[in-house]
Amino acid sequence: MTRYFDPHIHMYSRTTNDYQNMAIAGIEVIVQPSFWLGSPRTSVGTFVDYWEHMITFETERARQFGIEHFVCISINPKESIERPLALDALEAMMKYDFLKRDRVVALGEIGYNLISDLEEEIFVHQLEICQKENLLAMIHLPHYKKPDGMNRMKQIFETGTYDFKKILIDHNTEETIKMTLDMGAWAGLSVYPISKLTPERVINIVRQHGSERVMVNSAADWGVSDPLSVPLTAAEMRKNGCRSADIENVTFTNAYKYYKQSEKFTWRP
């Protein structure tokens, strides 16, 4: 059976049945980044409890179905505008050494939601942590005005020295994929049943830009989303005559190559 890797899925919002169906479909490895809980946080403790839940409980829940589970810790862009809460949460992240925990393979999601100055302050702080700690970074492009977010991000990158081999820019579309790849970063393509990309759009992007440093994810969360987006996209690619190497690259190999740069990504195929 073909094996799959979902490099961005929010299992905090999914059921145990989802894990079961993912395992049956051939998903062997997943990475769960930090995201919005669905309502405003009220204290730093909610961040601490959430990160601990992902590292411990979700890892064990995935293991029950033979799925390897890894984590990205961050102040998510949608939650980064609260002051002083977001800054206090950053302090707690470092105080309790969450970034040194087993299974924590990157800082993410970080980046933009509304493309605001408050978001950018937390984004820059977290990029600085990545540089200082030599960590991988998963960056969230805004859902709207993506080129604006990309251009503002590039201005930040121009002020420092960044290792783009360790940066994954996610939620790309036809508007941003070339900018991401030209930068030398890895590119995430999120497939949703209604919003974001369809498998057909992924196919067109891969045919135009190739499959190097490109990976498909479900980004499944509270909304109308599908934790089987990665294998479903692979099936559509096969139906449309895509090369086997391209299918394997975007549904398994590239995600593995990216995350194995982390010493805490201990799984090997």
Q: What is the CATH number of the domain that holds 199?
A: 3.20.20.140
Has residue 266 been placed in a domain?
A: no
- Strands of the sheet containing 104-111, edge to edge, are 4-6, 27-33, 68-73, 104-111, 136-140, 167-170, 186-190, 214-217
Domain count, the chain: 1
Q: Look at residue 264 and tell me if it is in a domain.
A: no
Q: Judge contact between 217 and 254, C-beta under 8 A.
A: no
| CB hemisphere CA count around 200 (13 angstroms) | 2
pLDDT of residue 35: 93
For each successive 10 residues of the chain (269 residues), what is the average pLDDT? 94 97 98 93 97 98 98 97 98 97 98 97 97 96 96 95 97 98 98 90 98 98 95 98 98 98 96
The predicted structure's pLDDT at residue 196: 86
SS3 category, 24: helix
pTM: 0.97
Please give the Cα distance from 223 to 226 (Å, whole number). Answer: 9
Q: CA 124 → CA 45, 68, 114, 118, 217, distances in Å?
A: 23, 30, 15, 10, 25
What is the rounded average pLDDT for all residues in the chain? 97
pLDDT for res 127: 97
- The answer for residues whose C-beta is within 8 angstroms of residue 104's C-beta and 6 or more apart is 55, 70, 71, 72, 73, 98, 264
Helix ranges restricted to H, the chain: 16-25, 44-53, 59-63, 85-95, 117-133, 146-157, 177-183, 199-209, 229-239, 244-248, 254-259
Q: What is the pLDDT of residues 42-95, one digit of tens each?
A: 999 999 999 999 999 999 999 999 999 999 999 999 999 999 999 999 999 999
In a domain, 78, yes or no: yes
Domain span including residue 195: 4-259
